[in-house]
Amino acid sequence: MSALRAPKNPQDAYSRWWQQQAAMQQEAWAAYYAKQKSIKLKKKHKSSSSSSSSSSNSSGSCNNLATKKAKRDDAKRQRADHDKGNEVLPFNAVPDKARHEQLKGDVDVEDRVSALGEVAEAEGASAADDFEELDSEMLAALLKPRKKRWDVAADKDMAAAAELYEELRRNKPLYGIQLRESPRKLAGDCWEEPRVKIGLDLLGWLSYIPERWTYPLQDESRRSFAGYLPGLLPAHYCHSLFHTIWHGTKWLQPTGSQGLPIPRKTAWMISQNCTCRYRYGGMEVDPELFPPWMVHLMQTVMPACGLKSFEAMPNSCNLNLYEDGTNSVGWHADDEQLFQGRFQDCRIISLSLGARRRFELRLNWPEKGEEGLVQIMLGDGDLCTMEGMTQKHFQHRVAREAHAVSGPRINLTWRWIAKHSPDCPARRYRPA
């Protein structure tokens, strides 16, 4: 019989239910102790009766047994009359609902002891007169409900806990727990200065094929945008490129903050004159220079974002390999110091190759009436962008899809390093 464990955060209804269950368990233990003590008394009486029977004749033994049986019958009748008058049922004969009502009511200890006697006798305990020799004070101590320290704290601080819960509920985002305080609004009712005032041009509008671009996320108040260009690269080129990248990349699987390998493989590539390591989520990934196939790929993809010269293109790329649907990346924002996405407009360009996966964005601090979640299905050769202050106001992820996805996927995420590491040559390099 295992002991009940107290709830960590007791609420009114659940706490009452738990106290009822605890009281029921205490009564069950009391019945068990009563049974054990009755069995000991029974053995004691048997040993004494056997010793007396050896010294007495058979007629005397018969008289003793008859006397004991008469005493037991009288005790049963007296207890039945007492229980009938007080309307106390045996514990094992009370239905669940009635048992709860009985436990909640003010039942005297003597009545509960009587009910426990019925249980002990039903399970084969000795006679009722033996049970009456039990220590009623011990049973009363067992039946007395004990108030745990968390119940006392809950009673004292219930009002404060309710107030704290409401405060957390108001500041909690729609799909997770918010870890940092929401920023203040910088432009009246808007979170950020308007895009027109800042002069931010969206990459899809700068493209040579702007009609094929859509923006599933257009949050002018937060100056946050996510663009989508399906099928930029043909299928045969995607297939060849996928195998080139898979076999031509030094894939790593670093250990995360929990001490376990992350559920994907990754690589970090940078342009010349840069040695910045990529640090995020308690991990650090060493860089490698853009290989020739990366330069050729960027010259193919970037004009679709309005970037024609190599100097205007991103100077870093983070690659992720998802071997199947069990691989994923959790909710996060690319707001590391390298990219300064929390303090200034940050552009990120992402190319998907291989299996089709669901890409999700969610608001950090949704206001009343805001849905706060955007989903984009990214397939082979699709392009996706995050622009403006998206890394400040949104988080994104690629969720685990173990049953829906079986094939591998490679994702290339190009970014601009805005603040190089102190030991990076690019920090000291100034073009002529």
Residues 6+ apart with CB under 8 A from 396: 331, 332, 333, 359, 360, 361, 362, 386
Structurally, how many domains does the chain consist of? 2
- 305 and 403 together in one domain: yes
Cα–Cα distance measured from residue 367 to residue 170, given in angstroms and rounded to the nearest whole number: 9
Q: What b/e string do you get for 73-88 counting C-beta neighbours within 10 Å, with b at 16 or more?
A: eebeeebeeebeeeeb
pLDDT in tens, 227-257: 999 999 999 999 999 999 999 999 999 888 7
- 254 and 359 together in one domain: yes
In a domain, 401, yes or no: yes
- 234 and 382 together in one domain: yes
In a domain, 384, yes or no: yes
- 128 and 202 together in one domain: no
- 202 and 339 together in one domain: yes
329 contacts 218 by C-beta, under 8 angstroms? no
In a domain, 213, yes or no: yes
How crowded is residue 267: how many other Cβ atoms within 10 Å of its Cβ?
Answer: 21
pLDDT in tens, 56-88: 554 555 566 677 777 778 777 766 665 554 444
In a domain, 181, yes or no: no
How crowded is residue 382: how many other Cβ atoms within 10 Å of its Cβ?
Answer: 21
Cα–Cα distance measured from residue 315 to residue 426, given in angstroms and rounded to the nearest whole number: 11
**What pLDDT is stored for residue 49 in this prediction?**
65
What is the side-by-side order of every strand in the sheet holding 329-332?
329-332, 394-398, 357-363, 373-378
In order, the DSSP letters of 152-194 are: HHHHHTHHHHHHHHHHHHHH--TTS---SPPPPPSBTTBSS--
Last residue of a domain, one of 102, 134, 158: 158
420 contacts 430 by C-beta, under 8 angstroms? no
In a domain, 60, yes or no: yes
Cα–Cα distance measured from residue 368 to residue 228, given in angstroms and rounded to the nearest whole number: 27
pLDDT in tens, 114-148: 555 554 455 444 444 444 444 455 555 555 555 55
In a domain, 138, yes or no: yes
Last residue of a domain, one of 132, 158, 184: 158
Query: For residue 112, what are the domain limits?
Result: 12-158
- Least confident among 37-51, 148-162, 358-372, 391-405: 148-162
- 151 and 272 together in one domain: no
- 109 and 201 together in one domain: no
Q: How far is CA 48 from CA 45, 52, 65, in A?
A: 5, 6, 13
- 199 and 153 together in one domain: no
- Which CATH number does the domain housing residue 278 bear? 2.60.120.590
Q: What is the dihedral of CA 84, 90, 93, 99, to 10 degrees?
A: 100
